[in-house]
Amino acid sequence: MKLTSKSVALVPIIVTVATAAIGATLIAPPAANAASTLGAAAAQSGRYYGTAVAASKLGDSTYSNILRTEFNMVTAENEMKWDATEPNRGQFNYSNGDRILNTAVGNGSRVRGHALLWYQQEPGWAQRMEGSDLRQAMMNHVTQVATHYKGKIYAWDVVNEAFADGNSGGRRDSNLQRTGNDWIEAAFRAARAADPAAKLCYNDYNTDGINAKSTGVYNMVRDFKSRGVPIDCVGFQAHLTNNAPSDMRQNLQRFADLGVDVQITELDIAGSNQANAYADVTRACLAVTRCTGITVWGIRDNDSWRTGENPLLFTNSGAKKAAYNSVLAALNSADPGTTTTTTTTTTTTTTSNDPGTGGCTATVSLNQWNEGFVATIKVTAGSSALSGWTVTTTLSSATVTGSWSANRSGNSGTVNWTNVDYNASVPAGGSTEFGFQGSGSGSGLNPTCAAR
């Protein structure tokens, strides 16, 4: 069939259908003996509960007692960052990082390494560098620090906060980024070579729900997985106020579906709904099999970087807050009677009109769970470049609740999606993607594509 006109009828042809069903039983352990500490409660489901630790506070007995009894994962709040570990080029200082690591190990805790490369807290000498000289210094830093801690780190935040805020979905400008877009994968490869046992994570904030920024990270992780770049996990910082994003679980799940572990890495929550929001974040992680643990960003309110916002689980004097009790209860809520089973099905369907000259095809990758889904749609140009496109989907038993990288005509029934400015142009044979999440069933979307 040869279709040559833009206005030609869209005749769907099912080209390929591949379906994989993954059944997962979640929140398994019985709560016969509810655990009385955060770490023990999280361990019932094989997860950890951690905190950020400041070396300067280890001499405070209230602080170190809570640390020892409640937590089984530790992140150095500042002591393993670039400015702390390499204050002068080629001259390394691990004294405070090692103090935290040794304290953690002495308490029977594991350690998250934070962070090998971050555009903030670069030492002054690195801030003044650019280009290939900086790239060389960056990779040497990754190699040296990961080698020093080889075999002792559960997971490294190899790269922290490399994506821009707002709707671009792209990278943040920095001297690191200006060394070339491949700096992130180069860092992951260097870290893997130095410490093959550590899980290697990308970590960021404002990526806790589904939005343009988290989708930018998602696309990078998917690309890394498809090209064999060694990435094992994604950290979601979760610096929140009042509420967890309503789609936090779905967001964690879509990353997990790419084949990486996910973790909540720097949790703190300000505002009057704090206790509920903490429980919501806890449940979001517990509902995702590959969410392996939660770390709060400090112990007592006055240990927090968010001065005056009281966003943590313990008061200034070290007493447990309502938020503490709600987290503990959520971690202990594994009741055999309420064990939930979630089935996630990943379906890749190619439905197309024959692209012919000036046409395009659309394919959908669908992650469906019990009551909702995320659909990623790939638009591929035919033998001519596109200067704009329209994709039509059929949502007979679903409602769109959020979307990215396309304009849409409605949220159910026949929904038309058109390009936004930055993805209107697609070269001949090239492709671009947009996506959406919805409630209900995403099956039968049957996307068709037309040039515009």
Place of tokens 């589904």: 210
Question: How far, in Å, CA of 375 to CA of 400, rounded?
Answer: 10
Question: How far, in Å, CA of 75 to CA of 303, rounded?
Answer: 14
Q: Least CB distance from residue 296 to ligand 9MR, whole Å?
A: 12
Which of residues 120 and 316 has its CB atom nearest to ligand 9MR in the complex? 120
- Report helix angle 274-286 to 248-256, nearest 10: 30
DSSP-based three-state secondary structure for 58: coil
* Element containing residue 125 per DSSP (H, E): helix 124-127
Q: Least CB distance from residue 74 to ligand 9MR, whole Å?
A: 14
Which of residues 78 and 292 has its CB atom nearest to ligand 9MR in the complex? 78
Interacting residues with ligand 9MR (CB under 6 A):
77-78, 120-121, 160, 205, 237, 266, 305
Q: Length of the chain, please?
A: 452
Q: Least CB distance from residue 310 to ligand 9MR, whole Å?
A: 15
Spot the catalytic one: 122, 161, 185, 433: 161
Which of residues 92 and 305 has its CB atom nearest to ligand 9MR in the complex? 305
Q: Least CB distance from residue 311 to ligand 9MR, whole Å?
A: 11
Question: How far, in Å, CA of 126 to CA of 116, rounded?
Answer: 13
CB of 414 closer than 8 Å to CB of 187: no
Which of residues 202 and 369 has its CB atom nearest to ligand 9MR in the complex? 202
Q: 61, 55, 94, 99: which is closest to 77 by C-alpha?
A: 55
Residue nearest ligand 9MR, CB atom distance? 305
Spot the catalytic one: 266, 309, 371, 433: 266
Which of residues 69 and 120 has its CB atom nearest to ligand 9MR in the complex? 120
371 carries an active-site annotation: no
Which amino acid is residue 75, in one-letter code?
T
Which of residues 184 and 406 has its CB atom nearest to ligand 9MR in the complex? 184
Q: What is the DSSP letter of 78?
A: S
Q: Considering Cα of 28, then 31, then 33, then 34, what sign does the dihedral take?
A: positive
161 carries an active-site annotation: yes
Q: 348, 438, 428, 353: which is closest to 387 by C-alpha?
A: 428
CA atoms in the 13 A half-sphere facing the CB of 196: 1
CB atoms within 10 A of CB 420: 14
Per the rule left: phi > 0, alpha: psi between -120 and 50, beta: everything else, 131 is left
Q: Least CB distance from residue 87 to ligand 9MR, whole Å?
A: 15
CB of 384 closer than 8 Å to CB of 370: no
Which of residues 75 and 292 has its CB atom nearest to ligand 9MR in the complex? 75
Q: Least CB distance from residue 121 to ligand 9MR, whole Å?
A: 5
Which of residues 44 and 237 has its CB atom nearest to ligand 9MR in the complex? 237
| 431 burial level (CB within 10 Å; 0-12, 13-18, 19+) | middle
Question: How far, in Å, CA of 222 to CA of 304, rounded?
Answer: 34
Q: 144, 160, 136, 64: which is closest to 104 by C-alpha?
A: 64
Question: How far, in Å, CA of 23 to CA of 308, rounded?
Answer: 44
Catalytic residue numbers read 161, 266
